[in-house]
Amino acid sequence: MVRSTNWVGDAVMTTPAMADVRRAFPEAEIVVIANPLVAQLFTCHPDCDRVLVYDKKGPHAGMAGLWRFSRALREENFDLAILLQNAIEAAVMAFLAGVPRRVGYRTDARGWLLTHGVAVGPEQKRLHHTEYYRFMLRQFIATQGDGRLRLTCNAEETAWALHTLGDGGWVAINPGAAYGSAKRWLPERFAEVADSLHREFGLRVVLTGGPAEQEIGRDIEQAIQAPVLNLIGKTSIRQMMAVLASCRLVVTNDSGPMHVAAAFDIPIVAVFGPTDHSTTSPWSKNSRIVRKATACAPCLLRQCPTDHRCMRAITAEDVMQAARALLGGTA
């Protein structure tokens, strides 16, 4: 069993580690344990045979829910638990499920629950998240994967995206960030960039994001002069994956969809402010990071306690220069 992380972006960054697991145990059945959102990433994935949904907001709420879920896992008779999630809950789950070998970082005071634990020191904290997960595995298995992010869409999902988008080149504008408002660039500047991309490259504009970002989407939709297809809050995770995989460019905050686009090797312009680009940047050579150095960044805060200067300092032209470099225009 592989206990996945709880955030979509983090889960995408675990896919190179999952490829390592597949290559180390080619005959094994690999079962991912994930929350309802993350589970969608792996329902069609070459390095996952089956997904079990752990829903803490539904049938598995509270300690009683964890107990019931863990006892049900006992029936699976897993040989090995690989805990990519850092929380003690993951180790408790594997322990209660009776998994004899439990591998993970010794985080969240859970070392005593692991049979094979890895300490987290300053060196590990500086690693890009993609390498952070692989480093842990490397202490116990040969990590022979190619280190690439990997997601897949099936034929039906791809056909749905092509039908929804129609012909033409598209830019996906992804203005949200589930972690908090501090990671979100200004909506009016996203709109300015979208209009510039439509004028200069003829790109059609699609807005992507989750239900919590619908208000941001409406603000951008009202500010954009170019035609726009607003899909914010109107797609499943897998539909969002298919939309991003069909685009020519993605302009985004540091977010889950950013990492999804990286997994499909779509060109990405990523706006970074309060988060650490050295550990969570798109794991792709086909990307550009736009950020401005400020004394208080990276602060890693969910909400900015001052004036959001790290994001306000980034202009629409800064983002356009990065987009031109990716699209073959003059930077």
User: Which pair of structure tokens corresponds to residue 64?
Assistant: 């009683």
Q: Do 185 and 118 fall into the same domain?
A: no
CA distance 322 to 269: 6
Residue 175's closest CA among 188, 160, 165, 164?
188
In a domain, 233, yes or no: yes
Contact 28, 56 (CB under 8 A): no
In a domain, 58, yes or no: yes
Q: Which domain holds residue 115?
A: 2-138
Q: Do 272 and 171 fall into the same domain?
A: yes
In a domain, 147, yes or no: no
Q: Do 219 and 280 fall into the same domain?
A: yes
- Look at residues 74, 108, 138 and tell me which one is the last residue of a structural domain: 138
CATH number for the domain harbouring residue 280: 3.40.50.2000
Q: Do 200 and 110 fall into the same domain?
A: no
Say which amino acid occupies 163: H
- Look at residues 78, 109, 138 and tell me which one is the last residue of a structural domain: 138
Q: Do 48 and 74 fall into the same domain?
A: yes
Helical (H) or strand (E) element with 330: none
pLDDT in tens, the chain (331 residues): 999 999 999 999 999 999 999 999 999 999 999 999 999 999 999 999 999 999 999 999 999 999 999 999 999 999 999 999 999 999 999 999 999 999 999 999 999 999 999 999 999 999 999 999 999 999 998 877 789 999 999 999 999 999 999 888 999 999 876 655 556 688 899 999 999 999 999 999 999 998 988 888 888 999 999 999 999 999 999 999 999 999 999 999 888 999 999 999 999 999 987 667 789 999 999 999 998 767 666 655 556 556 556 677 789 899 999 999 999 854 3
User: Which pair of structure tokens corresponds to residue 172?
Assistant: 């996906």
The DSSP 8-state label assigned to residue 165 in this structure reads H
pTM confidence score? 0.93
Q: Do 116 and 215 fall into the same domain?
A: no
